[in-house]
Amino acid sequence: MYSIWKRFGKKDASSDLALKIQQVKKSSVPKHIAIIMDGNGRWAKKRALPRIAGHHEGMKVVRKITKLTSQLNVSILTVYAFSTENWKRPKSEVDYIMKLPEEFLGTFLPELIAENVKVEMMGEIDLLPEHTKRAVKQAVEETKDNTGLILNFALNYGSRAEILMAVNKIIKDVKNGIIDETINEEQFSNYLMTRALPDPDLLIRTSGEIRLSNFMLWQAAYSELWFTDVLWPDFKEEHLLEAVEEYQKRTRRFGGV
């Protein structure tokens, strides 16, 4: 009897989620959602597990949230997978994280292709291990012609480094006479790693931390921010829908009245 009710309970939950998705889609959804996926280590510690267990569990959540954002007709999902500061973590943890793109994309890539998702990456890819680069480049290549959701991994990414790289490129182009020495915001944005993407409309951070942690500092100037105490491995579809609903209630003035 319990198993029957368990099955019905799952069906009801699935129906409720589908209904919620349809309700959310009736209003304007963010074109670009960016997520700082925080709390993997704390999730593992609470369960007396090694930190890598939290990263593995968090990878499963990326899969669920990617599917949901695609269903919501969001255009871009940017996930902060590994920052330039994360190299300071224990080598064993870093080595494991660097294997995750291979595992994630190895199992999920056929599904991404079938669902018309386009994989992109921003960050200093040349500094990544060869096996990580190989997995990412394969996913980018095999999905380059897809026209649906863009799943943008921020991998070995730091916003300050990105801005400094942009400034150095601008200086070089000014010296070479390619551009004038006076540039505007639009021109500067074209030197960033997100040059082909609109700025995030909604930026989410999990785990209770209330800071940007060197993530898209230029691009998030007018993003709507949404913070939650939920640790990333516990982040469910309902939490994303809650964030989008909150976004829909806000008025975006971009400095105007």
Give pLDDT tens digits for 115-164: 999 999 999 999 999 999 999 999 999 999 999 999 999 999 999 999 99
Query: Who's near 85: CB < 8 A, 6+ residues apart?
Result: 158, 213, 214
**C-alpha closest to that of 143 among 121, 122, 117:** 117
63 marked as binding residue: no
Q: For the segment 37-71, what is each residue's pLDDT rounded down to a tens digit? A: 999 999 999 999 999 999 999 999 999 999 999 99
41 marked as binding residue: yes
Q: Is residue 156 a contact partner of residue 186, using CB atoms and an 8 Å limit?
A: no
Q: What is the pLDDT of residue 5?
A: 43
Q: Is residue 22 a contact partner of residue 191, using CB atoms and an 8 Å limit?
A: no
Inform me whether the pLDDT recorded for 8 exceeds 60.
Answer: no
Radius of gyration of the chain from Cα atoms?
Answer: 19
212 marked as binding residue: yes
Residue entry with tokens 């916003």: 159
Q: What is the pLDDT of residue 196?
A: 95
89 marked as binding residue: yes
Active-site positions read 38, 86
Query: Who's near 167: CB < 8 A, 6+ residues apart?
Result: 191
- The pTM of the full predicted model, rounded to 2 decimals, is 0.92
156 marked as binding residue: no
- Classify residue 173 by burial, with Cβ atoms within 10 Å: 0-12, 13-18, 19+: middle
Angle at CA of residue 63, ends 129 and 100, nearest 5°: 20
* Domains annotated on the chain, with CATH: 27-158+199-249 (3.40.1180.10)
Which of these ranges, 55-59, 95-99, 152-156, 177-181, has the smallest mean pLDDT? 177-181
224 marked as binding residue: yes
38 marked as binding residue: yes
Task: Give the pLDDT band (50/70/90) at residue 30.
Answer: very high
Q: Is residue 112 a contact partner of residue 139, using CB atoms and an 8 Å limit?
A: yes
**Residue 76 in tokens:** 């871009």
Angle between helical axes of 237-249 and 2-25 (0-180°, round to 10): 30
Inform me whether the pLDDT recorded for 11 exceeds 90.
Answer: no
